[in-house]
Amino acid sequence: MIILGIHEGHDAGAAIVKDGEILSAVNEERLVRKKLFMGVPRNSIIECMRIAKLSPDKIDKVAIAGILGTMAPPGWENISFKKKIYQFICNYTPFPKTHFFINLQRALFRSFRNKSVEKYIRSIGIDAPIEYVDHHKCHAASTYYTSGKEECLIITSDGSGDGVSSSVYIGKDNELRLLKEFPTFHSIAYYYGYITQIAGFKMFRHEGKIMGLAAYGNPQKVYKIFEKCFSFKDGRPVNNLGVIGETAINFLKRSLRNVSMEDYSAALQKRTEDVISKYIDYYVKEKKIYDVAVAGGLFANVKVNQRVLELPAVNSLFIHPHMGDGGIAVGAALAVSAAEMANEGNGLKPYKLKNVYFGPSYSNDEILEAIENNKLKGEYIRDIERYVAEKLEDGKVVGYFDGRMEYGPRALGNRSIFADPTDTSINKWLNKRLRRTEFMPFAPSILDTAAPDYYENYISGRYPAQFMTITFNTTKEAQKARAVIHVDNTTRPHVVSKQSNPRYYKILENYRELTGLPLFVNTSFNIHEEPIVCSPDSAIKSYLNGIVDVLVMGNWVLER
């Protein structure tokens, strides 16, 4: 059974899932070169079918993420009239506050659902039946079926999707059972968004900057203000302030007028960690299920994830690698795939992802063609793994492009920039070169064999650590590579196994042979506000812009 998953909202994308296995998954931003693209992911749909070598008539079913479609988050500009009505209702009526009204809201707004995806897929010859899947169920399916745990507690949390901001599911016997869902009105992630906006960054895009800044502040100074805003009481997250959107933003602006950005970021981060930890601890104990899987934009917060994993009651934690809305095309396809498989037999058994290289790849010939089209002269290197390690030892910044593009927000070694992990000044000069304002240090890729010596509590977090979705406290051994450690002594590693990426593993081994270090800086191959590079052409463009000293694509090398 072949399912095409589609998401047309924030970070739109498509995916092909065959009998529960992800054959391809691409987000539209990478193809149209517009960060977090919203709209019908026309190119991703075509690209996913091309990668999976499928014609439109081979699709058995289409799974579209979201019953209501994309609604406007508060504070969002340039929204349509219909969405403004929705926003007004969210902000000023008591309706969306209770569970009963979530369903009423769904019934009221169902007819608002944009039909442009349907029109598009019919226009390209896909006749398969269409199923719409609830937004949070997509998040839940994305993480349950890739958790590798037959039984686990699933928590989703984001700004809003289909009138809901968080849900609790139990994954058992290859099925998802909804326990609770909490309305948008009680969204914790919205508070993170408000503060991101107040700090002068973009809501739902730059939350990571606030998380990075938090380590520099004193959380106690204004913790009480956030205590007033949101909490976890009687088994549910609660918006204590009783307002959302502009009204909440104005309250925070007034309350934080004379507070430094670092201090309010620290307080917000601590409050978020405290409330989410309490929330997960509550359901883990109540349901006596100690393996947890999470998804939703809030879990892009790697520090929250660390706190959850450190809870004494939590045995293991999995974060779906594409935890935000960019991952719900896969989630929709997995949910429908699982239901179809359950109808036919035992259903879809949760499995572990070997890697997340679900995007397009380019052969050495195609790379050479791109180099020549750009009127450049490349050099073919046979032992590319040694070559890259030598360049890094030499202090060069290497742009590395190889194999299939990663799925999700993190570059995991196929569209990455590598650099020396010991140079503590790197955060200044490399961020400047990449035109980024980051408050988190760069993250490392590290050999799996070395990770237990470098990170505390690593064993219980080793699965999510393959996807760079969690931080760890660092050991004394790790201090050798100070450039990848934050001021609070944590790091967000990408742990590489031979099985997940043999070529990349070999580069790391070569680097260790040359320097004694089993890790180096791995940051995404893009400049600020641009999506990660996808094709050789976009990698060459970045090289010509001067962001890397050496560009390695397959076995071809460009060096200035």
Chain contacts with Fe ion (rule: CB under 5 A): 158, 161, 325
Shortest Å distance, C-beta 231 to Fe ion: 22
Which CB sits closer to Fe ion, 159 or 350? Answer: 159
φ, ψ of residue 299 to 5 degrees: the values are -85, 10
Comparison of 74 and 441: residue with beta carbon closer to Fe ion = 74
- CB of 329 or CB of 426, closer to Fe ion: 329
Kindly provide the residue ranges of all beta strands, DSSP E only, lying in 347-428, ordered along the sequence. Answer: 379-380, 398-401, 415-419
Reduced to 3 states (helix: H, G, I; strand: E, B; else coil), residue 204 is: coil
Angle between helices 207-214 and 188-198 (to 10 degrees): 80
161 vs 163 by CB, closer to Fe ion = 161
Query: What residue number has its CB nearest to Fe ion?
Result: 158
Question: CA 52 → CA 25, 358, 407, distances in Å?
Answer: 10, 10, 15
- Cα 25 to Cα 356: distance, rounded to the nearest angstrom: 9
- Least distance in angstroms from the C-beta of 172 to Fe ion: 23
Nearest CB to Fe ion, comparing residues 11 and 263:
11
Specify the residue, 158 or 448, whose C-beta has the smaller distance to Fe ion: 158
CB of 259 to Fe ion, least distance (A): 29
Q: Please write down the HEC assignment for all residues of 373-414.
A: HCCCCCEECCCHHHHHHHHHHCCCCEEEECCCCCCCCCCCCC
The residue with tokens 């602006």 is: 253
CA distance 374 to 371: 5
- Cα radius of gyration (the chain): 23
- Please name the amino acid found at residue 255: S
Instruction: Please state the closest distance from residue 327 (CB atom) to Fe ion, in A.
Output: 9
At closest approach, how far in Å is the CB of 68 from Fe ion?
A: 12
Spatial contact of 371 and 535, defined as CB atoms under 8 Å apart:
no
- Amino acid residing at 162: D
User: Which lies closer to Fe ion via its Cβ, residue 162 or residue 402?
Assistant: 162
Q: Which two tokens stand for residue 292?
A: 């947890």
76: CB partners within 8 A, 6+ apart: 87, 203
Q: Where does 442-508 show beta strands of DSSP type E?
A: 444-447, 472-473, 490-491, 494-496
Smallest distance, Å, CB 323 to Fe ion?
9
What is the smallest separation between the CB atom of 208 and Fe ion, expressed in angstroms?
16
CB closer to Fe ion out of 167 and 174: 167
The DSSP element (H or E) to which 47 belongs, if any, is helix 42-51
Query: CB of 298: closest distance to Fe ion in angstroms?
Result: 9
Sheet holding 415-419, edge to edge: 379-380, 556-559, 550-553, 398-401, 415-419, 519-524, 444-447, 494-496
Tell me whether residue 219 or residue 237 sits nearer to Fe ion (CB atom): 237
| Shortest Å, Cβ 19 to Fe ion | 26
Backbone angles phi, psi at 419, to 5 degrees: -160, 170
> Which amino acid does the sequence have at 394?
D
The vertex-409 CA angle with 406 and 415, nearest 5°, equals 40
Give min distance, CB of 138 to Fe ion, in A: 8
161 vs 183, beta carbon nearer Fe ion:
161
Q: Are strands 130-133 and 61-65 parallel, antiparallel or unpaired?
A: parallel
316-319 and 291-295 beta bridge pairing: parallel
Q: Which is nearer to Fe ion, 10 or 61 (CB)?
A: 10
Q: How far is the CB of 294 from Fe ion (least distance, A)?
A: 12
Query: What is the rounded CA–CA span in Å between residue 69 and residue 281?
Result: 31
